[in-house]
Amino acid sequence: MSEAARTGIRVSRRMSDDRGRVDLKSMDREAVERFMVDELGQTVTRARLVFQWMWHRGARTFAEMQGVPKALRRQLEERCYISFLEPDQVLKSVDGTIKYVWRLEDGHLIESVLIPEVQRTTLCMSSQVGCAMACTFCVTGDLGLKRNLKPSEIANQALQVARQLPEGERITNLVLMGMGEPLHNLPNLVGALSICLDDFALNFSHRRVTVSTVGLVPKMAELAAALPVNLAVSINATTEEQRREIMPLTRKYSLAEVIEACRNFPLPSGKRITFEYVMFRGFNDTIEDAERLFRLLDGIPAKVNLIPYNENPGRDLKAPDHADVKAFQDYFMSRSKACHVRTTRGLDINAACGQLGKGRGQAVEDTWLEDARRIAGLSN
């Protein structure tokens, strides 16, 4: 029987190692339970214990799983492995933002960004190597899509960063706003987020997990059906023509369809959709744009997140004037619609919005890198 049929999950080439063992961390709890009950004749309780060891206590080996019988540990060792991301670089910005560059099993690099603020500490995670969406202003788009991340590669970002934080500090929020289009890798995203939300694993509240999308219309409802996480939509423009110019996906799913999908999005009471709006000077920064956006969002429980464009080379797009950002924000605030200006963080280490994959920064934090390597089991 194939591994896929045995474990009940899709196992790609990269989900097994050179000894044919499966990455046990790419299964959510139910899949681990199914695998261990059906294949190894174990109880659900034992399966949970193993799952907890991997995701709650960060075990690097089966050998260290105290309370799991030795024979079972050996059996697991033969059939499975515990994956970790290899930290390639840890860069610290002058503003305290920390960028992690991870090297994957096949050599690709991905990035996560930790953003400490007064009230919360947010981890921005990647969902793909590169991105297929080709938004003109974003450097991750320049890479094209190399491949999807598997569930373990997504959830391991949160586990490994969380374990590195100093005593008493923790990640409070997760946002899928790093490299990639999360809804373009939906099955693996859902697997990873179930691990992030599971109380036997990372135990995040769904109120503090946000998935950001360019507006992959059919996948929005699928996400809602799978998990109760928050939705953010990168809207960025207010007419079809304007949006087509910077977000080619608009040719497939029009702005009107994206808004319609938001209107139909099954929001639990009290939740709102976040609309991200990257502002470019002389392109989408006028009061007329604000008016149009306001009208588009009419009737949708929404908050607007204005993101001043971080300039990237090779484009004639420009960062907005501060006064225009302020006027845009005031337009919403004076009409009692929540509108927040996202502070640019991590610019000096290429960790700001739309800069992931841009290359390495200068401010290497050697001690953090060493620590991150230790957590990944690469040094002692």
Residue ranges that bind ligand SAH, judged by CB under 6 A: 133, 137-138, 177, 181, 212-214, 234, 236, 276, 278, 307, 309-310, 312, 353-354
CB closer to ligand SAH, 55 vs 328: 328
CB closer to ligand SAH, 97 vs 236: 236
CB closer to ligand SAH, 91 vs 351: 351
CB closer to ligand SAH, 23 vs 111: 111
How far apart CA 308 and CA 320 sit, in angstroms, is: 6
Tokens 């989900």 map to which residue?
15
How many CB atoms neighbour CB 246 within 10 A?
Answer: 20
Q: Check if 260 is active-site.
A: no
CB closer to ligand SAH, 142 vs 371: 142
- What's the burial of 136, exposed, middle or buried (CB within 10 Å: 0-12/13-18/19+)? middle
How far apart CA 186 and CA 101 sit, in angstroms, is: 23
Shortest Å, Cβ 276 to ligand SAH: 4
Looking at beta carbons, which residue is closest to ligand SAH? 354
Shortest Å, Cβ 71 to ligand SAH: 45
**Six token digits for residue 193:** 């987020």
Choose the catalytic residue: 111, 153, 181, 276. Answer: 111
- What's the burial of 97, exposed, middle or buried (CB within 10 Å: 0-12/13-18/19+)? buried
How far apart CA 124 and CA 345 sit, in angstroms, is: 12
Q: What angle do CA 80, 85, 89 make, to 5 degrees?
A: 165
Residue 65: strand, helix, or coil: coil
Choose the catalytic residue: 124, 135, 262, 353. Answer: 353
Shortest Å, Cβ 227 to ligand SAH: 16
Closest of 166, 82, 76, 86 to residue 121, by C-alpha: 166
Q: Check if 365 is active-site.
A: no
Tokens 């194939």 map to which residue?
2
How far apart CA 212 and CA 210 sit, in angstroms, is: 6
Q: Any idea which residues carry the catalytic annotation?
A: 111, 353
